[in-house]
Amino acid sequence: MTIDLHQLFVLGILTSAIHWLAGRSEIARPLWSRAPGWLDRLLRCPACTGWWLGLLAWFAGVHVWAAPFRAVEVVLNGVTAVFVTPVFEGAILWGLRETAILSDEDRSGSVDPALVESGEVTPRPPQV
Protein backbone atom coordinates (compact mmCIF):
# COMPACT_ATOMS: atom_id res chain seq x y z
CA MET A 1 0.00 0.00 0.00
CA THR A 2 1.22 3.47 -0.84
CA ILE A 3 0.15 6.92 0.27
CA ASP A 4 -0.56 9.63 -2.28
CA LEU A 5 0.87 12.76 -0.60
CA HIS A 6 -1.16 15.13 -2.76
CA GLN A 7 -4.37 13.41 -1.72
CA LEU A 8 -3.18 13.38 1.91
CA PHE A 9 -2.73 17.15 1.73
CA VAL A 10 -6.18 17.57 0.17
CA LEU A 11 -7.70 15.32 2.85
CA GLY A 12 -6.09 17.38 5.63
CA ILE A 13 -7.22 20.68 4.17
CA LEU A 14 -10.72 19.42 3.44
CA THR A 15 -11.40 17.81 6.82
CA SER A 16 -9.85 20.56 8.93
CA ALA A 17 -11.60 23.35 7.01
CA ILE A 18 -14.98 21.63 7.27
CA HIS A 19 -14.44 20.94 10.97
CA TRP A 20 -13.39 24.53 11.60
CA LEU A 21 -16.35 25.97 9.71
CA ALA A 22 -18.91 23.61 11.26
CA GLY A 23 -17.60 23.38 14.80
CA ARG A 24 -15.65 26.50 15.73
CA SER A 25 -16.15 29.41 13.35
CA GLU A 26 -17.93 32.54 14.48
CA ILE A 27 -20.21 32.51 11.45
CA ALA A 28 -21.58 29.07 12.45
CA ARG A 29 -21.75 29.82 16.19
CA PRO A 30 -25.60 29.84 16.19
CA LEU A 31 -25.49 26.24 14.95
CA TRP A 32 -22.69 24.67 17.00
CA SER A 33 -23.46 26.51 20.23
CA ARG A 34 -26.88 24.82 20.33
CA ALA A 35 -25.68 21.32 19.53
CA PRO A 36 -26.99 18.61 21.89
CA GLY A 37 -24.68 16.40 24.03
CA TRP A 38 -23.14 13.85 21.63
CA LEU A 39 -23.06 16.25 18.68
CA ASP A 40 -21.45 18.93 20.84
CA ARG A 41 -18.73 16.48 21.93
CA LEU A 42 -18.18 15.43 18.31
CA LEU A 43 -17.84 19.03 17.12
CA ARG A 44 -15.34 19.84 19.89
CA CYS A 45 -13.01 17.00 18.84
CA PRO A 46 -11.21 17.48 15.50
CA ALA A 47 -9.94 13.88 15.50
CA CYS A 48 -13.44 12.47 16.07
CA THR A 49 -14.92 14.67 13.38
CA GLY A 50 -11.94 13.82 11.16
CA TRP A 51 -12.89 10.14 11.23
CA TRP A 52 -16.37 10.77 9.84
CA LEU A 53 -15.19 13.44 7.42
CA GLY A 54 -12.43 11.09 6.22
CA LEU A 55 -15.00 8.42 5.46
CA LEU A 56 -17.15 10.96 3.61
CA ALA A 57 -14.10 12.27 1.75
CA TRP A 58 -13.35 8.77 0.48
CA PHE A 59 -16.85 8.54 -0.98
CA ALA A 60 -16.36 12.02 -2.49
CA GLY A 61 -13.20 10.86 -4.25
CA VAL A 62 -10.29 11.80 -1.97
CA HIS A 63 -8.51 8.43 -1.88
CA VAL A 64 -5.30 8.59 0.17
CA TRP A 65 -4.58 4.87 0.16
CA ALA A 66 -4.24 2.45 -2.75
CA ALA A 67 -5.49 -0.70 -1.03
CA PRO A 68 -6.52 -3.97 -2.68
CA PHE A 69 -9.80 -4.05 -0.76
CA ARG A 70 -12.20 -1.13 -0.87
CA ALA A 71 -13.39 -1.65 2.72
CA VAL A 72 -9.80 -1.45 3.97
CA GLU A 73 -9.21 1.69 1.92
CA VAL A 74 -12.28 3.41 3.38
CA VAL A 75 -11.24 2.61 6.96
CA LEU A 76 -7.63 3.68 6.34
CA ASN A 77 -8.87 6.95 4.88
CA GLY A 78 -10.89 7.58 8.05
CA VAL A 79 -7.99 6.64 10.32
CA THR A 80 -5.65 8.91 8.35
CA ALA A 81 -8.12 11.78 8.74
CA VAL A 82 -8.11 11.24 12.52
CA PHE A 83 -4.44 12.25 12.49
CA VAL A 84 -4.32 14.91 9.78
CA THR A 85 -7.43 16.88 10.81
CA PRO A 86 -5.99 18.14 14.16
CA VAL A 87 -2.61 18.85 12.53
CA PHE A 88 -4.08 20.93 9.73
CA GLU A 89 -6.51 22.60 12.14
CA GLY A 90 -3.50 23.61 14.23
CA ALA A 91 -2.14 25.31 11.11
CA ILE A 92 -5.47 27.10 10.69
CA LEU A 93 -5.40 28.30 14.31
CA TRP A 94 -1.81 29.48 13.93
CA GLY A 95 -2.72 31.38 10.77
CA LEU A 96 -5.74 33.01 12.39
CA ARG A 97 -3.67 34.05 15.41
CA GLU A 98 -0.86 35.46 13.30
CA THR A 99 -3.18 37.41 10.98
CA ALA A 100 -5.54 38.76 13.67
CA ILE A 101 -6.07 42.48 13.41
CA LEU A 102 -6.39 43.87 16.92
CA SER A 103 -8.14 47.12 17.67
CA ASP A 104 -6.60 49.75 19.93
CA GLU A 105 -8.76 48.55 22.83
CA ASP A 106 -7.48 45.00 22.34
CA ARG A 107 -3.90 46.28 22.53
CA SER A 108 -4.66 48.46 25.56
CA GLY A 109 -5.31 45.45 27.77
CA SER A 110 -9.11 45.48 27.90
CA VAL A 111 -9.07 42.02 26.33
CA ASP A 112 -7.63 39.18 28.36
CA PRO A 113 -4.11 38.54 26.97
CA ALA A 114 -4.67 34.78 27.34
CA LEU A 115 -7.51 35.01 24.81
CA VAL A 116 -5.26 36.79 22.35
CA GLU A 117 -2.52 34.17 22.81
CA SER A 118 -4.90 31.22 22.52
CA GLY A 119 -6.40 32.51 19.31
CA GLU A 120 -9.86 33.05 20.83
CA VAL A 121 -9.95 36.65 19.60
CA THR A 122 -11.70 36.72 16.26
CA PRO A 123 -9.73 38.41 13.49
CA ARG A 124 -11.31 41.65 12.33
CA PRO A 125 -11.32 42.90 8.75
CA PRO A 126 -9.17 45.98 8.09
CA GLN A 127 -10.83 49.36 8.69
CA VAL A 128 -11.27 51.38 5.53
In a domain, 51, yes or no: yes
The pLDDT confidence band at residue 15, using thresholds 50, 70 and 90, is very high
Contact between residue 53 and residue 18 where contact means Cβ atoms under 8 Å apart: yes
> Rounded mean pLDDT of 11-17?
94
Query: pLDDT tens digit string along 91-126?
Result: 998 888 888 776 665 555 555 666 656 666 654 544
The pLDDT confidence band at residue 81, using thresholds 50, 70 and 90, is very high
The pLDDT confidence band at residue 52, using thresholds 50, 70 and 90, is very high
Domain encompassing residue 76: 5-100
Which of the pair, 15 or 119, is modelled with greater confidence?
A: 15
Query: Could you tell me which of 59, 88, 86, 92 has the C-alpha nearest to residue 75?
Result: 59
In a domain, 125, yes or no: no
In a domain, 109, yes or no: no
In a domain, 55, yes or no: yes
**pLDDT value at residue 56:** 92
In a domain, 122, yes or no: no
In a domain, 108, yes or no: no
Please state the pTM of the whole predicted model: 0.73
Q: What is the count of structural domains for the chain?
A: 1
**pLDDT value at residue 124:** 52
In a domain, 81, yes or no: yes
Q: H helices of 1-128, where?
A: 5-23, 29-32, 37-44, 46-60, 70-98, 104-107, 113-118
In a domain, 20, yes or no: yes
**pLDDT value at residue 103:** 65
Instruction: Report the C-alpha gap between 110 and 59 in whole angstroms.
Output: 48
